[in-house]
Amino acid sequence: MFNSSQYCIFDGHQNSQIQGVCLNASCQNKRPYCHHCRLQHHSQHVNDLKNFEQLNDFSIQLAKVFEEIQNKFFAIQKCLQTLNDQLKELYVNPKTNFNEFNLTDLEKLVFKLLSLNQLSNSALLQNLNDFNKRLSFFNKEGLNQIKANQSGVLSTIKSDINQISNSISANSITLNPVDQNIFHFSEQLTFKGISIQENGKKAVCTGLEWGFAMCEPVILKKGTSRFVFQVCHSNICNLYVGVCHKDKIIQSNYSPNSFQKIGHGAYLIFSTGLILSHLQSEINYQFKGFSYSNNDIIIMEVDMNQQQIVFTHQQKQQQITMKLDVSQDLYPYAELCFGSSVQILQI
């Protein structure tokens, strides 16, 4: 349908009704056309002339492209914001007086420094530099294309944005927050006859009762942390390995009796296959895990993003997954009986 207010402005075209627009990117004439314009100005590209109904369809099609580009922008912003949040957690004020901190907080600061040192030797800085160059180039070229009214501007922008987005994912601009070498059993966080040996890499129960040992530092609240325990115990003595909420365990006075109800603060697997879950009543205090024995190796991966811990029996290649309350601090943890031990391995 024609709009009665849209008439051709060219001399000699007798104020004719506008029929549509020209979408040829190279055309140097006015975009709206009448039947005189069709012959005089657009005869070489008549297939690019669209009536208003076709123009509306074209607009709807490009609106989808615009939305896709915008979604890509949001994805890139989210990725960069996540990276920025991770980096903020690793910042250590250069004016810090390290000798004023208690041992636990000092461990956390040292871990941050070691993580930053790891990043300084990684591909992160180069990836960010390449990304910045690519983004600057895209910004300049995209603006030039729009100003020059060149063909396929949105398609080109879409292609460039896809390349930038894929570059972020492919180069894995992420932090590896925990080095398993950092975890060690803490002299301050043991209970009942636990001997810490080999520079904190081994906990041995020397008492006649159950002993309890936690590792430090606290597990970071972002990314995935991995640690590996090798267990040593006899057939008449069992043990637990996993993670816990330190304050909950201390409040319970390290009592195994508290584990029969959820909310006890632990996520552990017993050597007999018994599961202890702070959150999940359907598996807590149930034999729903795998069993393990002397010299077996248990791999534990804490995924803060997925809010879960995955236990893997290395020899049997069996797994069990538990949900985690990530709002509270988590620490690697073991409960040992007389003569048993747990060693942290690097594998």
Q: What is the pLDDT of residues 241-279, one digit of tens each?
A: 999 998 888 887 766 567 788 889 999 999 999 999 999
Chain length of the chain: 347
- With 0.95 as the threshold, say if the pTM is over it: no
Q: What is the pLDDT of residues 291-339, one digit of tens each?
A: 998 899 999 999 988 999 999 999 998 999 999 999 999 999 999 888 8
The DSSP code sequence of 136-170 is: HHHHHHHHHHHHHT-TTHHHHHHHHHHHHHHHHHH
Q: What is the pLDDT of residues 185-206, one digit of tens each?
A: 988 888 778 899 998 999 998 8
Name residues whose C-beta falls within 8 Å of residue 145's C-beta, 6 or more positions apart in sequence.
Answer: 153, 156, 157
Contact 298, 332 (CB under 8 A): no
Q: Between 129 and 7, name the one with better pLDDT.
A: 7
CA–CA separation, 39 and 334 (whole Å): 86
State in words which class domain 184-345 has. Answer: mainly beta
Q: Is 52 exposed, middle or buried (0-12, 13-18, 19+ CB in 10 A)?
A: middle
Per-residue confidence (pLDDT) for residue 172, from 0 to 100: 43
Going from N- to C-terminal start, the domains of the chain cover 65-170, 184-345
CA–CA separation, 244 and 325 (whole Å): 10
Contact 188, 176 (CB under 8 A): no
Across 96-106, b (16+ Cβ under 10 Å) vs e yields: eeeeeeeeeee
